[in-house]
Chain A
């Protein structure tokens, strides 16, 4: 770097976020992040174990273990940075949206060729990312079209392989998060975060990205357009978990938000009220797979839920973001 010119004509935003972020970072890592990955590994281990004893797609034990583990993942999936992002682990847990139908193709390919990768966890982890994770397992457990392919013994081995792969992936995240967490609580030259502000900004991005994904993708995809609603595009609709994911993600993001806004009680109260409205709407919506988005009444209710999440996003970006030193700049906030 030969010259580093700083222009004083324009002052950068600073000062507002000069607060001590250490207590919040400690709180978020110890009570929000690490327990979620601990719970994830517990429930994915139970899923892998259950699949070993009972690989019948209709088994109530297997489906219950699947549901519990998927709940844990949805409740942690907004923490999509650091060890969660390494090697596309988050996508390997849930390959969705699958706009080109890669998941059923990958599974059919395994079944039709009786791919031996199912015999080795290391080999399975190297197969197509679309054939891994909870959405692939959902196809195996709930999609009648898959149940007609190949033979039952191979499908059983495939179910076990996917469940084991999910568990190994969860273990890798959990292990790595334990060593990564000090990066957030002790930022500096040895950390990817040079300051507490940078670590706070990472958490804030996780919050806003999580809200965006739930509003625009989990709800936006099944809503489609008024002329052409797309209920078949709802996330995990075969297991009727679509609405549940919206609710679980909002509950997880509410917890993160309360911790991030701890030093700003008024903003925290505004956000808490907005989350309460959105979660109320989700809980009173009796349409688990968004199958009713094609009816005017059903559509209005899902749109109202989407709007209530967008209200949270608005408060987060205009009030919470600036307190964390996130520039609400015209270009930096919403670039292209």
Chain B
């Protein structure tokens, strides 16, 4: 049984690498949303050095996107509390379909495809009851098939696990309602968690942080090939405390929290924006735009290795030669063993996330 599971996981992993469709659009390596000087918000396809290969207008400020595992297709989200997502044909640069959140729901800005690319999952807020929901969509038609509970309040990032049959969900714990904008409505009682569900919504595992950290909102996720999950947090408690903003978790085990020494940790203002594993699986990093810093850690022993000073850095993803980042000042760069090297400086403001399309590991 074990060997069969590993075999299936290997198959699923292999299917993450685009096999057709993607190369024909000039080989984008990443997707990222940005605000351009003419006031338009666009989703761009980037090559490995940060050159824009294509760029598609969005109706409003974007957040994250999800790339189809096979076809040259991506779903781009509005930032929360948005009610639209658009399906883009990255080959022709056209919008194939607009997804609209059902009545009483809004998107949180993240989604994930099934391994075979036939289903799409979205994190949503059922805002009258404040229950987190995962919407299920049929990719052929982008018709809504149904929904299931996310296992908490405020689900934000969500990833498909390497087994192809499990979704991991960051339930940030924060209640909001579109009528009160982005105001956080339940900070004293918030209780974030990390929830694993199968594709029909049955909860497989759920972990919470210790009570003293109940105001550490679990927001963004990275998943390593072997199923190790990294999660990035945003601290909602006192700014005079500097709790860890990065955690590692393996399904069925306890989470481990990683932190820089206090002098570095205290500059982050309790906020991590994105998280990614490096392609060689040895490092994990978080971006901290409020602290103008990128922190890198050794995954194996959990130690902090480097801090890089980068203004308004937020987007982060695995590149072929190292972790790749984008900033709100238009920079695109790569981390090598000791330095951050900027390879493209554009006149745009890159938004929160950088989404790798190819798999490098």
Residues of A within 8 A of B (CB): 1-7, 9-13, 81-82, 85-86, 88, 91, 95, 97, 99-100, 129, 192, 194, 202, 205, 212-213, 216-217, 220-221, 223-225, 230, 327, 329-332, 335-336
Contacts and interface: CB of A to CB of B under 8 A. Distances in A.
B28 interface: no
Contacts of B271: 332, 335
Contact of B290 (A4, A202, A213, A335): A335
A335 B273 contact: yes
Contacts of B234: 335
Nearest to B328: A330
B182 A216 contact: yes
Interface in B198-230: 219
Contacts of B130: 99-100
Q: Which 5 A-B pairs have the closest CB atoms?
A: A330-B328, A329-B312, A192-B240, A216-B181, A331-B314
B289 interface: yes
Interface stretch (B52-60, B93-101, B184-192, B249-257): B184-192
A81 B306 contact: no
B308 interface: yes
Contacts of B105: none
Interface in B294-346: 303-314, 327-329, 331, 333, 338-342
B342 A335 contact: no
B306 A327 contact: no
Contact of B239 (A81, A97, A194): A81
Contact of B352 (A13, A213, A224, A335): A335
Nearest to A129: B188
A91 B215 CA distance: 14
Interface residues of B, number: 61
A336 B306 contact: no
B28 to A, nearest CB: 22
Contact of B292 (A97, A216, A223, A332): A332
B311 A329 contact: yes
A225 B351 contact: no
Contact of B329 (A2, A10, A86, A212): A10
Contact of A99 (B177, B310, B312): B177
Nearest to A194: B266
Contacts of B79: 336
B179 A332 contact: no
A221 B273 contact: no
Given A10-B327, A100-B130, A81 B238 contact: yes
B63 interface: yes
Given A4-B264, A85-B238, A329-B289, A10 B182 contact: no
Interface string B140-170: 0000000000000000100000000000000
Given A329-B312, A336-B80, A91 B188 contact: yes
Contacts of A202: 239
A130 to B, nearest CB: 9
A336 to B, nearest CB: 6
